[in-house]
Homo-oligomer: A and B are copies of this chain.
Amino acid sequence: MDFRFSDRSLAWQEKLSRFMQDQVIPREEAYVASVRANPKLMSPVMVELKTKAKAAGLWNMFLPGEHGAGLNNLDYAPLAEMMGRHLWSAEVFNCNAPDTGNMEVLHLYGNPQQQDLWLKPLMAGDIRSAFLMTEPAVASSDATNIETRIDRDGDHYVINGRKWWSTNMAHPNLAMTIVMGKTDFDAPVHQQQSQVIVPVDTPGFRVERMLSVFGYDELPIGHAEVVLENVRVPVENLIAGEGRGFEVAQGRLGPGRIHHCMRVIGAAERALELMVDRLMSRVAFRKTLAEHSVWEQRVAEARTQIEMCRLLVLKAAWMMDEVGAKGARSEIAQIKVAAPSMALKVIDDAIQAFGGAGVSGDTPLAEMYASVRTLRIADGPDEVHNRTIARLEYAARSMKAGH
């Protein structure tokens, strides 16, 4: 294993770090205020920061190869971690989910017309997109459960279904969505699904309601329940081909999961910093909290767990670069489970250190907690990833015993 970052990555780290310090962090309050004041308009703070970031070349770092920053997964990890410290900032650099996943999909599987129409403005940061996969009626951990129908009707597909947890649906710039559904309910289980592009202004496409996360609306992003009723799109909107929806989904989920984990490490690191600062400044029973040994244990455990999770993120990223997402399946599943759990513990301890300030909006901790908590569910719940890991272990031992 070689976790050395390329010179290119080191340069970007330096640049991004400076930009965060100089531009992003000082504007955090202003950004939050602008969203609260007018959630349906693009925040002028975001517009300004995006312009600056783009000008500085801090843009689309998530995308490997020549079209992005040319960084592999390992190289991108420290950049994602930095953005994870201030979760809203990923959008500044056009590196936020689910747009990143959609861009990857269009980059890999989109035809020239789709790339022209949708990938370009997404890469430019001019529009936003959503990915409609999860459904309220069935356990989404099992992709074969999907009930949304995509029926061919002449030159069109007609889509009917109900989706939820569609992220970005409140975004002022939202323009298109990618919808996962079934074109053939009778095909082999992993060839039933297809993905099609559905612009948000298509008739029959309706936001039923917005969903909250522990009381947060997570604006300007927002998560929605969406109803698709006889939604018609031209057949050209099909991505990759009929029956390839599962394959396309797998392709996006590998990097997506690991990006989440990188950001989660950053969130945990920031929570630890906030906690330590609090502990060193708050006095109870005539000494700082930092001097109470129970907090020594918690700080130490936080540091140790963060270190271990960061190393596992790097290993998973390195393996994706070396052997691809399939070869890194166990490692991706491992970190997908381990990172959010670790971060929740660190954030929860930090909340405890802050007392009332911790659960309120006076620190970012409670909102971080809510946000990270969803990651034990989104993109596959812990239980399903653990199942994957265990089965790979069983298979490995069986093979060994077989020799």
Tell me which residues across on chain B come within 8 A of A185, comparing CB atoms. Answer: none
Give the residue name and chain of the B residue nearest to A217 (CB).
B215
Tell me which residues across on chain B come within 8 A of A357, comparing CB atoms. Answer: 136
A308 touches B300 (CB 8 A): no
A370 touches B214 (CB 8 A): yes
Query: Would A373 and B359 be within 8 Å (CB), given that A139-B282, A389-B303 are in contact?
Result: yes
Chain A contact residues, CB within 8 Å of chain B: 1-4, 134, 136, 138-142, 145, 164-165, 211-217, 272-273, 276-277, 279-280, 282-285, 289-290, 292-297, 299-301, 303-304, 307-309, 311-312, 314-315, 330-331, 333-335, 337-338, 351-352, 355-362, 366-367, 369-370, 373-374, 376-378, 381-391, 393-394, 397-398, 401
B369 touches A214 (CB 8 A): yes
Give the residue name and chain of the B residue nearest to A361 (CB).
B212
For the residues of A in contact with B, the DSSP-based class is helix
Tell me which residues across on chain B come within 8 A of A164, comparing CB atoms. Answer: 356
Q: Contacts A215-B215, A352-B381, A359-B377 given; 10 further ones with Cβ under 8 A?
A: A139-B284, A211-B356, A214-B214, A214-B367, A279-B394, A293-B387, A294-B296, A297-B386, A308-B311, A352-B382
Query: Would A355 and B312 be within 8 Å (CB), given that A215-B367, A334-B303, A361-B212 are in contact?
Result: no
Tell me which residues across on chain B come within 8 A of A358, comparing CB atoms. Answer: 377
Query: Would A393 and B276 be within 8 Å (CB), given that A215-B216, A296-B294, A352-B381 are in contact?
Result: yes
Return A361 CB to nearest CB of chain B, in Å. 5
Compute how far the CA of A393 lies from the CA of B378 in the bound complex, rounded to whole angstroms.
Answer: 28
Query: Would A397 and B277 be within 8 Å (CB), given that A334-B304, A355-B381 are in contact?
Result: yes
A214 touches B293 (CB 8 A): no
